[in-house]
A and B are shown apart, each in its own frame.
Chain A
């Protein structure tokens, strides 16, 4: 399809996954991501793919591990509480060095929380969630179009680095409708000689496993994986800069919070306040270098988030606490208004309007 169509974020990412060659989806319904599963249920049989509603989130993620081990593109999606259930399997994917895409359309937490949008799984996505030394590629779309583009990117980076990738959206991204171009993104092919596809005509067999009986060997595995993480940190950081050329105050925000912030920045600019934004698109790897560079000329930072303040830690680390970092936040399923962000900007500007 080359013309624009009107799609809900959840549908758009599901269609993008199919276009990216994912023929294996395993899920379990939960608001506000249920449309992903509903779309897959309708579409997968038509393209010769597999849609399977597992008996639980734990089953779904383990089915993903099974398909990923064969080198095929596999995905699952859920919302916050469901991702907690999948976290064991995500750790196993990381340990087995398997690429896969996990979608989290976040809702308010902790516990069962609520169904309204949230970004309070930032720590879970970027700092672990599951156990052990591992990272996920974490992509944060801020439009329905990016839901499409970053789904392609997620599968690509997952295969490039042999690690699971997560599309971290908030409920608004999943539920909002916007025009999108369903462009057929590039599908690169990577070496998959590790895949368990039968012995064929070679000797020996491939084993996909995260268990090591030998601590020396497990240490080597962990180092080998972190060497690849380092390459990702060097080469695949994505971010967007908005009015940063002369900015004295730098907002850091992702997802829906970045759109509210953009509106507030325009209002502040109209008042003559020099404020800009760095929007991380990859939450891991985090855009540390560009933030560090911004800290050389900005007098203050504001982390705008739909949680109690999680990404703010990474902002402080990136700029080595060299400048004050303020928090502008709402939580529990609430979204800040542009006016609330504007008030934070004025505060960071020393109260000067």
Chain B
């Protein structure tokens, strides 16, 4: 397990959900974990919505003081540097959508690369119109790499249609991710599946990341 795991991708691909749930799974396996919310793009849905759950699992959350407030500022917490300097903890980093969101990582990229103990994961949902085909998914992939100056090291398949997601959607998403992974020469490291769906269906897939929803509007 690498010390730093970074999640990036097209906005709406499920990065925040992946980050929160991945951090919880690390904490459950007994590791000391911090989540760094580096999202400077999305004003509404943030790691902060999962604060209580993260706290309950002993995960430390580093987030801008302006998140979920009425102050619409693209800011990150000064404590974000702990991601680099506090090597006693695992770091899970949630990066904002697209190249605009990834830009913020550029400031840390040299030090992350120097330590060389990281996984940089491209979260991919084939049911998002702008990453629907290999070509457009590749376009977003390139834009992000160029913006943040770090190369991706793995793919996370997160094919879903929100609460309507079925098992076949997950499998279709995974097939797509595998095809994409082959093109870019990277492994599909995780497949995200919602907890509710995992409890109902049997999945013959390796490395499933169980996703419990955050900020789930039940209406």
Interface of A toward B, CB cutoff 8 Å: 1, 4-8, 11, 15, 31-32, 42, 108, 113-116, 171-172, 175-179, 182, 259-260, 262-263, 333, 338
Contact = CB atoms under 8 A, between A and B. Distances in A.
Contacts of B217: 172, 176, 259
Nearest to B125: A6
A177 B12 contact: yes
30 contacts: A4-B164, A5-B127, A5-B128, A5-B132, A5-B161, A6-B12, A6-B127, A6-B160, A6-B161, A7-B128, A7-B129, A8-B11, A8-B12, A11-B129, A114-B70, A115-B70, A116-B44, A171-B44, A175-B45, A177-B12, A177-B162, A178-B162, A179-B127, A179-B161, A179-B162, A179-B164, A182-B129, A260-B219, A263-B219, A338-B219
**In the A-B complex, the 5 residue pairs with the closest CB atoms:** A114-B70, A179-B161, A259-B219, A263-B219, A175-B44
B123 to A, nearest CB: 13
Contacts of A31: 43, 72
A339 to B, nearest CB: 12
Interface in B30-74: 42-45, 70, 72
A108 to B, nearest CB: 7
Contact of B43 (A15, A42, A115): A115
Contacts of A176: 217
Chain A interface main SS type: mixed
Contacts of B130: 42
Interface in B8-34: 11-12
A333 B70 contact: yes
Nearest to A264: B219
A32 B70 contact: no
Contacts of A262: 219
Chain B interface main SS type: loop
B129 A116 contact: no
A278 B64 CA distance: 41
B70 A6 contact: no
Contacts of A333: 70
Contacts of A4: 127, 161, 164
Nearest to B70: A114
Interface in B171-219: 217-219
A178 B129 CA distance: 12
A177 B44 CA distance: 12
Residue of A42, A177, A260, A262 with most chain B CB atoms under a 10 A cut-off: A177
A34 to B, nearest CB: 9
Contact of A263 (B11, B72, B218): B218
Contacts of B127: 4-6, 179
A110 B219 CA distance: 27
B24 to A, nearest CB: 22
Nearest to B172: A3
A172 B216 CA distance: 12
A167 B132 CA distance: 27
A114 to B, nearest CB: 3
Residue of B125, B160, B219 with most chain A CB atoms under a 10 A cut-off: B219
Interface in B119-159: 125, 127-130, 132
B219 A108 contact: no
Given A7-B129, A8-B12, 6 more contacts: A5-B127, A6-B127, A11-B129, A175-B43, A175-B44, A175-B45
B1 to A, nearest CB: 30
A182 B217 CA distance: 23
Contacts of A32: 43-44
Contacts of B12: 6-8, 177
A1 B132 CA distance: 11
B121 to A, nearest CB: 19
Contacts of A113: 70
Contact of A6 (B42, B45, B128, B218): B128
A115 B45 contact: no
Given A6-B12, A177-B12, A178-B162, A116 B70 contact: yes
A262 B130 CA distance: 32
A116 B49 CA distance: 14
Nearest to B44: A175
A5 B218 contact: no
Residue of B43, B129, B130, B160 with most chain A CB atoms under a 10 A cut-off: B129
B189 to A, nearest CB: 22
Contacts of B44: 32, 116, 171-172, 175
B168 to A, nearest CB: 12
